[in-house]
Structure 1
Amino acid sequence: MWSLQNLLLVLCSALSCWTCAAGVIQVFGYEGGGVKISCSYDEGYENYKKYFCKGNCWFSRDGLIKTPQRNKHKYFIYDDKKSRIFNVSISDVRLHDAGTYWCGVKRTGYDLYTEVRLEVIKDSCCDKVTEIQGNEEGSVSIRCLYESKYQKQLKYICRGNQPSTCLQQALITSNNRQNGRFTLSHDQKSETFTVTNLNLTLKDSGSYLCGVQTDTGLDVFSAFKLEVKEMCKVNSSNIRAIVGHPVTFQCSSSQHRDTKKFLCKGDQPNNCTDMMTNQTKFSLLNVSSSCFSVTITELEAGDAGTYFCGSDSQLRFKDYTEIQLAVESLQQSSTVTPISSSITSLSPSPHESDVNLLYILPAVLVLLLILTFALFMVFKNKSKSLKVGGVGMSGSNTAGSDEETRINDIYGLEEDESHMNHEANPIYGHSLTEDNIYCN
């Protein structure tokens, strides 16, 4: 009977010690991740064996892992005797790993225990997701709320929806408020922090988590989903115009209702100056469901540059037109060729002028060669004709006799005519003879 009483006393002492374990360690872990438990002990127990167990450790005192053992399956234990803390790590925790564990120090009689409560949470967030939109090459701001008790805690943002790795993969934190394209601003009065992402790309689309670090190891998150819309240029054109003259742009128009037509000037469609405020110089024409026109009157040299026009100044839709406008003076707009003042050429580009010269110069050279050859032939024929005439007058006697015979024949005809006229007309008193001709 006495031995039974002693046994009951020992059991009561053990149970009393079990329930009076010093403190409770609360640990949180994400499914698939790892957790670390730090168990302290009093001075004098440095060389005692330590172990880690789950549930009722009285019947399995060696537990899941013990010193001097270091690794066992997914458990790891290390006793830091200098600081009198032994650390236990559990890797790849699952939902069924949640529960009550004990850090034990093995000694004679009953062991020393510290209770550990492990909570395993799914590694995803969250039930509520806020959707936001941005435009390619634009910017977007994510506004994150937190409770007042976390005002001095670290704030951060990461991509994805896995809380377990969010802090390690943070894009920016409140300790470093500028990181590349990301900036973080903190407004303690409204209990918000805002992360701005500049110069958006299509790859920025996806899930984001705003995180606030806590002392429990289980951070607080809010989830966002960002959609970056592609900026597609419907068309683009290069226009050359003359100073003082009007020019008209053809612009694409959105099929969406209640969209305001716009024309702006600048390097980017989302960062340009609205030109439609000057309605005396810029006028909207021919507005339809698919397109519209904008006319600029009295062009100046300063009007040259890049323009964007479309049907939605907020660029929510994928339709706008890019226009490169070059403004020239009237003298620069035309080129006169040296062959004739009536041949002019309006050269849209230096490349086209070079191509025209390649065709014009050979034609001019051929024309000059033809004119030179023609002049040469004319002078040659005239020279030959003069030479032939000179030889006929000073040639041989035979040639002279023939010529004299032709002259006599001519004068013989004249004599006959004179004789006839003399008979008919008494005015002529003398008749002409061959001797009279040569004497005279």
Structure 2
Amino acid sequence: MAFLSLIFLLTIVQADSAISNSSPIFGPKEVTALVGGSVTVKCFYPRTSVNKHSRKYWCKESTQHCSTIISSNGYVSRGFEGRTSIIDYPENGLFIIEISNLVRRDMGPYKCGIGLNDKGLSFRVKLDVSAGSIIPEEAQLFYVEQHGSVTITCAFGDASDRRYLCKLTKYTCATIIDTNGNIDPFYKGRILLSNLQTPGSFNIIITQLQKQDSGLYLCGTGNYGAEGETKKLDIHVYEDVLISKQQPILNGVQGGSVSVECHYEPKESKTTKYWCKWNENECTFLINNLGDVRDDYEGRIVMHDSPENGTYTVILNQLHNGDEGFYWCMTSGEQERKSSTELKIMEETGQPSLAVDNEIHAVAGAPLTITCTYPCLYADYEKYWCKWKNTGCEPLISSEETQAGLVVSCDKGNRILSLHFDQTSLSDQGWYWCGVRKGGHYGETYATYLQVQGVLRNAEEPLRPNEEPSDVVSQNRIVPLNNANKEASNDIPAESHKESKHSTVLLSVLIPLGIIFLLLATAFFVVKFRLFKHSDLVSVGSYRTNISMTDFENARQYGAKDNVCVAEAHETQIGGKDDYIVTTNSPKEAGKSKAKRNSKEDVEMAYTTFLLNSENIQPRGSQQQ
């Protein structure tokens, strides 16, 4: 009979404990105070609009009912006037009861609750009033909504010992995480232990909390049950219908994308939001809302903030096997919310739904169209293109045009979303995303890189391997800039380019003039050379001249015959006694020619005539003989 009674009592205790644990109201299970001292009891409740305005109370249990000691309506029981108070903090979901001048008869079971009577939501608290001088340390309370997070700070003197968190069971304290790298599989990917700057201090963060996480914990140094220090923690996880349920597992495919929606307190919209990838020792930063992006994630990750509803969405595309793991949403606000999500790459599920060329080459100054095909699944979704930046990827929806000349069009019949460029430029180079969204929620995306080529080359040059004839524009072909040319062009100031342009124009004028002048000079010297080649240097007295050999040839043709017709010869002494000039002119004409005798032409003709008729002239001495 006694055995049956014990079983019955244990059943009642367990049932009562289950009711207490299922209630959304939470407080300390037991508090201890000294006689004549005071005690403070914190009771938490969900922050719904109904709870915020409902009556809060503190009552003492008896066998029949729970007699109200004090309530938020202003009621105070006899015997507690002047030594008890209740303060409600609806914005924090918390009300605090304080009792002073404690006596032994104040000991016993109490309840803190919400409602018009003691039948409402409540939590049982045991008050112990001790006559001793030492008060045992109470457990630190943590009241967390389901799928939420909690940050625990533990500080101890010795920083060299092992640091750990364990959960109390009936017989032991099971290790959850420690600095030796041990992690309970149930908490993998959603718990992190990090040391603080103060020696011996460390933080423990648990995300994606579940109802099973409620219970008593110990954080400490050393080993449980042996040496070291410990601190008791009491965590209560309640279900809040206002909190959106986080998707615990995301499935992606090779080359595809995933999107994660993170939540934060809307009143703290100016706080920093960031996303990181979890590992055993830290959470590696990937992106935040300030425009900071990890280098190896540029072009494949973006964050969209929606402060009006307290959410931000992170999209990761170009997925590969190395992306598998756990990712955390985090904020820097006072009511900081953290959540974790596991990403798995499903190799068997096939290809991404959206299809775009992985890399596109364009010609500077030429039009371009990039196409993205989508399945029937996204027929009712809003489709968009956007150019990736570290601060985001602002969607450009169908039929919308920007000042940069970008137009998005959708061929619903063929399920093709196109992005048109009127005229590409080097500034258009970069990452472009094709994506879908519905009801303000972002869905699948696909990224492609646009490479714009911008250096001119003659079209006559042969095409290099893998180059298309379409690259030829206006008798010139566009080829990529190499890094050296880019750096050199960046170092040249604008004024140098202008001076170089003027110099080019000047040279284009002077060079043809110089060529013409050179041709004229060459022709002149060739003619002179030919004339000089047919001339001999002849001396007439003290006068030297060039006489053309053609003159002598002409003279030989007429010399003998013309001399026959000469009536008489006239002799004129020029120099010495042996120098004569013979002329066939009359005396009257001779007088005329005498006036021109000093000219070069007269001298040449006189000497030529002299040579031709020298055989017919006899010296005076011979005539006398």
Q: Same fold (TM over 0.5)?
A: no
What's the TM-score, normalizing by structure 2? 0.26
**TM-score, normalisation: structure 1:** 0.33
Q: Which has the higher contact order (CA 8 A, sep 6+)?
A: 1
